[in-house]
């Protein structure tokens, strides 16, 4: 299940979209990030981005019963490429409103920060639908 | 995640260790809701041992702050580390919630 580019040893991991699988996915990603040479700070932020994407898949891609999620990590020269793929309902992150970061406690909406954080972490973020699958691709420069 | 609670007189000091994520955020919210139900309204949340926070964690921090506001209560935060500090800064939580360098400084500000 390796994609193009130089596959890192950890390669791909298939899991069921259940919250209990989050840590296994994060461990897999952290191992790949370490092998790539990403520092601890950015590895932590990448782990955070994975949680946000994975939780979104658990809740919205598979609202009725958990389906498969594939995490694929590879290096492309000076870039670390991380893909999270599901086979669930189509998802368009462009429809998600940007949070109002300046709003105070009373007016600030609870939630809505997940995708904002994902956007902050990735140097390049691509989200697309391909062959009935949702693909979220984060590219991080070394 | 582990939570330790002690009463300092002026406030409840709630020390949270580990990860505040989609799996643990509900437990944190339950613990805070219980304290609020017991009549507590002033909190210092000590994050010195918290290594990770996600939007699910931020969501319950904000929900608690919203719940305390009409009661005249307040939760402030101390000892943010690494990624937790960075996530607070990215999301503006540093400015909407009180953030302090130490539990003592937080207690003094309450």
pLDDT in tens, A85-96: 999 999 888 888
Please give the pLDDT value at position A102: 86
Which residue of chain B comes nearest to A106, CA vs CA? B66
Of A40, A48, A106, the CB nearest to B54: A48
Report chain B residues whose CB lies below 8 A from the CB of A110. 59, 62-63, 66
Summarize the confidence of residues A55-67 as an average pLDDT: 96
Q: CA nearest B87: which of A102, A138, A44?
A: A44
Q: CA nearest A141: which of A83, A84, A82, A93?
A: A82
Average pLDDT, chain A: 91
Total number of residues shown for chain B = 110
pLDDT in tens, B6-22: 999 889 999 999 999 99
* pLDDT band, very low/low/confident/very high, at A9 (cuts 50, 70, 90): low
Interface test with B, best of A51, A93, A104 (most B CBs within 10 A): A51
In A45-55, which positions are buried (b, 16+ CB within 10 angstroms) versus exposed (e)? bbbbbbbbbbb
- Domains in chain B (CATH in brackets) are 2-109 (3.30.750.24)
As for the ipTM of the complex, it is 0.94
The dihedrals phi and psi of A99, each to the nearest 5 degrees, come to -70, 155
pLDDT for B90 beyond 90: yes
The mean-pLDDT minimum among A69-73, A101-105, B63-67 falls in A101-105
pLDDT for A29 beyond 90: yes
The domain limits of chain A are 6-141
Please indicate if any CB of chain A lies within 8 Å of the CB of B62: yes
Please give the pLDDT value at position A111: 78
Interfacial A residues in 14-43 facing B (CB < 8 Å): 19-20, 22-23, 40-41
Average pLDDT, chain B: 96
pLDDT for A67 beyond 50: yes
pLDDT for A1 beyond 80: no
pLDDT for A4 beyond 50: no
The token pair that represents B106 in the structure block: 């937080």
d(CA A56, CA B76): 29
Please give the pLDDT value at position A134: 97
Q: What is the pTM assigned to this prediction? A: 0.93
pLDDT for A2 beyond 60: no
Cβ neighbours of residue A8 closer than 8 Å, sequence gap 6 or more: A32, A35, A36, A73, A74, A75
Classified by CATH at the fold level, domain A6-141 comes out as Heat Shock Protein 90 (3.30.565)
pLDDT for B64 beyond 50: yes
Interface test with A, best of B22, B29, B64, B82 (most A CBs within 10 A): B22
Asked if A4 and A75 count as a contact pair (C-beta separation under 8 A), the reply is: no
Sort strands A6-16 and A68-76 into parallel, antiparallel or unpaired: antiparallel
Tell me whether residues B21 and A41 touch, CB distance under 8 A.
Answer: no
Please give the pLDDT value at position A8: 56
């Amino acid at each position: 299940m390796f994609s193009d580019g130089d596959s890192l040893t950890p390669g791909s991991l298939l899991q069921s979209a259940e919250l209990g699988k989050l840590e296994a996915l994060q461990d897999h990603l952290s191992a790949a990030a370490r092998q790539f040479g990403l520092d601890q700070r950015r590895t932590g932020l990448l782990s955070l981005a994975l949680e946000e994407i994975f939780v979104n898949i658990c809740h919205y891609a598979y609202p009725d019963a958990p389906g498969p999620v594939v995490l694929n990590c590879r290096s492309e020269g000076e870039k670390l490429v991380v893909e999270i793929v599901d086979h669930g309902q189509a998802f368009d992150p462009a429809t998600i409103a940007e949070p109002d970061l300046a709003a105070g406690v009373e007016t600030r909406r609870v939630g809505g920060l997940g995708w904002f954080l994902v956007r902050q972490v990735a140097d390049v973020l691509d989200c697309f639908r391909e062959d009935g699958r949702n693909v979220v691709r984060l590219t991080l420069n070394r | 995640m582990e939570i330790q609670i002690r009463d300092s007189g002026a406030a409840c000091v709630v020390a949270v260790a580990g990860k505040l994520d989609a799996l643990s955020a509900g437990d944190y919210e339950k613990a805070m809701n219980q304290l609020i139900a017991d009549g507590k309204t002033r909190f210092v949340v000590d994050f010195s041992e918290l290594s990770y926070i996600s939007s699910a964690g931020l969501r319950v921090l904000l929900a608690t702050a919203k719940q305390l506001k009409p009661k005249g209560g307040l939760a402030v935060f101390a000892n943010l580390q690494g990624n937790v500090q960075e996530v607070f800064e990215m999301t503006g939580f540093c400015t909407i919630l009180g953030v302090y360098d130490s539990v003592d400084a937080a207690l003094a500000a309450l």
